[in-house]
Amino acid sequence: MAVSETKPDLVTHLETDVLVVGAGGAGMYAALEAARGGASVILADRSLIGRGGATVMAQMTVAAALGEQTPDHWEHHLADTLTAGRGLCDERLAALLCEDGPQRLREMDAWKVGWAREGGHIKQAQAPGHDRPRCAYVDFLSTGPAVSKTLRTRLKSASDVRLIGDLFIIDIAVRNGEACGAIALHLPTGRPVTLAAKAVIIATGGLAGLYRRNSASANMAGDGYSLALRAGAELIDMEFVQFFPIGHLAPRLVGMDPIMWDPFRYKLGGKLLNSERREFEQDYATQDSRSDGNYVLTRDLATYAITREVEAGRGSPAGGAYLSFRHVPEAEVRRAFGPVVDRLLANGIDLTRHDVEVAPIAHYHMGGVRVDETLQTGVPGLYACGEAVGGANGANRLSGNAITEALVFGARAGRNAGRRATGRTSPWAADAARPALDLLRSETKRDAPNPAAVVAQLQAIMADKVGPFRTDATLRSAITAISQLKQEIGELPLSSATAFDPAMVDWLDLRNMLLVAQSVAVAALARTESRGAHQREDYPGLEENWCVNQIISLSRGDISLRKLAPTKGRAAA
Amino acid sequence: MNATLRIQRGTAGETPRLENFDLAFEPGQSVLDGLRAIRRLLDPSLGYRFSCINANACKECMMLIDGKVDYACTVRLKEGMTMLAPLPKKALIRDLVTEIAPPDERL
């Protein structure tokens, strides 16, 4: 890796075989695997390494057919994944996820992640949509932090991996149709950086940050999707945004992730109650043939049930449902929640006496960058992995599949990108960086709205009009509002960047967010049916002729949409 | 209820200045909620670090709150004045942002 500085532009230039963008679980695994194959790697994150992204916040479970709790085979996991995906899964990607999953979990086990054990085997919990106990975890809400820490520790001892935090990737550099690196903003100095790479991996996670209430890190508002689109790659299934049904709503809880309640519901049978203090899930359970009526509503159905109860005037005071553990003996609560009981008490919540209020919260995105079975996009040399990839989970993701896909797709993308880079000469050309460098240097002081306020406006538009329930009218109004915001923020930054310039970062975020928000809304408007996480109030039924994926591409700033039959069949492993 | 956040501002090399921001809040809201509201409503140029927003997972929002090192995402807003300053033993970048990345994870 060479470092050079060319004055007077003060552009730092770095070179590497493989550039990984995003240091969550997928990005870290990709970096490890590329390095294991002998490639030099730069792992860049706009946040600090291992702190941002979704993995570190994941408190839940990791699904894989380990067969530790009960006999299992990855084909059973695949069958459940495909069923949850409601006909739209890319079967090659879903099969990779399920087939490689056990291997990755065992590797993590060998790296001492600390999967919870009982009776000498890894404990696997039952989660909705799975036909048997399949979900491993690290106890007391520690799954994500443990996964993150384990990978970070491995990275520290990996050879030829350079970790760079506070480095915000602005655009992928493309030359002759191939990815050749990236252009970045170094946040602590506000200076541009160019990175030459023989392969680039997008591992930036999803887009939950587009929504008002979300369980994402601040850096997850679809960066990777817009990087991919502008580089010439395609997106798939953008209309499928997963809402986590029981995100914490009230009372205000600090120091805890809003999606913390699910594992405790599994363990203790927490009850969801409406304002009449009646359990209502049963009323909706009959609508899904896979439901056995015993707390197995998949996330899309549970989101539907809570939202409908609120609309019918049976919501909790803050506009959600009650989650109650009051029927559970105190000792059992203590045993299941462990130290979390005390953190809740510090927030004034005594579960043996108080219910909490929960409501759907934007959580995960099934759609994303379109890749083939090698995790490569349509742009040679540009790969994607983790949540940034679209297609594996179709119209709805099973709980437990997100960390698995981070590990599996991360490893695969890293390996394949490393192979591509090995023995190849750098395709870098300084010209490929020029448009993005010009953008970063442009100084166009003008009257413009507060970019932080515009981000909040966009989040409100997405929540109110492109949320879990959509209509033609709300979607059209969202598309109009998004294009107005686009005009308001303009095509050039409001100033050139200075050290840790939050207004500049917001502007660059909006450049990405508005493009991604538009992609979601346009795809949602076109899909005139209801399927999985995409629910149209004006088209309530699932339509057989809509068993297609929608593909989005960008040409001269304009989004276009086309339909494609879902990819069937398996990849050769 | 109303809070006043008195924030030490400035970039490396500048003489630090103190600025007051008044904002309404609901009981239970965090100092980080307050900082995010300031950016939306009053001054988008205010610099502070955060990533996970509420989970206390990223540990990026560490700063000096009323003279004590703490996390902005777990300390609650209170009525009256709260003093915010950057971590004293880390190199200052801007406002409440300091260089906290391990040396081998920087550019």
* Beta bridge pairs of residue A192: A185
Cβ-in-10-Å burial (0-12, 13-18, 19+) of A263 comes to buried
Q: Which CATH number fits domain A443-564: 3.40.50.720, 1.10.10.10, 1.20.58.100, 3.40.50.1000?
A: 1.20.58.100
Could you give the 3-state DSSP secondary structure of residue A68? coil
Q: What is the pLDDT of residue A571?
A: 56
Select the residue of B41, B53, B58 nearest A56 (Cβ to Cβ): B58
The per-residue b/e assignment along A529-544, b for 16 or more CB within 10 angstroms, e otherwise, is bbbbbbbbeebeeeee
Which of A13, A16, A51 would you mutate first to test chain B, the one with the most B CBs within 10 A? A51
| pLDDT tens-digit series, residues A240-292 | 999 999 999 999 888 888 888 887 887 788 899 999 999 998 888 765 544 44
Q: Residue B16 has what DSSP assignment?
A: P
Q: What is the pLDDT of residue A153?
A: 95
Q: What is the pLDDT of residue A6?
A: 41
Contact A282, A274 (CB under 8 A): no
Q: What is the pLDDT of residue A8?
A: 47
Q: What is the pLDDT of residue A1?
A: 43
Judged by CB atoms closer than 8 Å, whether chains meet at A502 and B44 is answered as yes
Shortest alpha-carbon distance between residue B10 and chain A (Å):
11
Q: What is the pLDDT of residue A292?
A: 42
Judged by CB atoms closer than 8 Å, whether chains meet at A47 and B60 is answered as yes
**Residue pairs spanning A and B at CB distance below 8 A:** 120
The secondary structure of chain B in percent helix, strand, coil, rounded to multiples of 5, reads: 15, 35, 50
Contact A181, A187 (CB under 8 A): no
Q: Give CA–CA dist A305/A299, Å, rounded.
A: 10
Length of chain A: 573
What is the token pair recorded at B81? 């004045």
Give residue limits of the domains in chain A. 245-361, 443-564
Q: Give CA–CA dist B28/A348, Å, rounded.
A: 10
Shortest alpha-carbon distance between residue B12 and chain A (Å):
9
What is the token pair recorded at A229? 């689109």
Judged by CB atoms closer than 8 Å, whether chains meet at B44 and A254 is answered as no
Spell out the CATH class of A245-361: alpha beta
| pLDDT tens-digit series, residues A229-251 | 999 999 999 999 999 999 999 99
Measured in whole angstroms, how far is the alpha carbon of residue B75 from the centre of its chain? 11
| pLDDT tens-digit series, residues B84-96 | 999 999 999 999 9
Which position has the token pair 């050309």?
A429
Cβ-in-10-Å burial (0-12, 13-18, 19+) of A515 comes to buried
State the Cα torsion B92-A509-A152-B55 to the nearest 10°: 80
> Rg (Cα) of chain B, in Å, rounded?
13
* Beta bridge pairs of residue A183: A171, A194
What domains lie within chain B, and their CATH numbers?
Answer: 2-100 (3.10.20.30)
Judged by CB atoms closer than 8 Å, whether chains meet at B54 and A498 is answered as no
Select the residue of A219, A254, A452 nearest B73 (Cβ to Cβ): A254
Report, as ranges of residue numbers, the positions in chain A whose pLDDT lies below 70: 1-9, 286-296, 571-573
Cβ-in-10-Å burial (0-12, 13-18, 19+) of A206 comes to buried
Shortest alpha-carbon distance between residue B102 and chain A (Å):
9
Helices (H) and strands (E) in chain A, counts: 15, 22
Q: What is the pLDDT of residue A287?
A: 55
Q: What is the pLDDT of residue A494?
A: 84
Catalytic residue, candidates A92, A299, A370, A412? A299
Which of A143, A219, A254 would you mutate first to test chain B, the one with the most B CBs within 10 A? A254
* Element holding A305 (H helix, E strand): helix A299-311
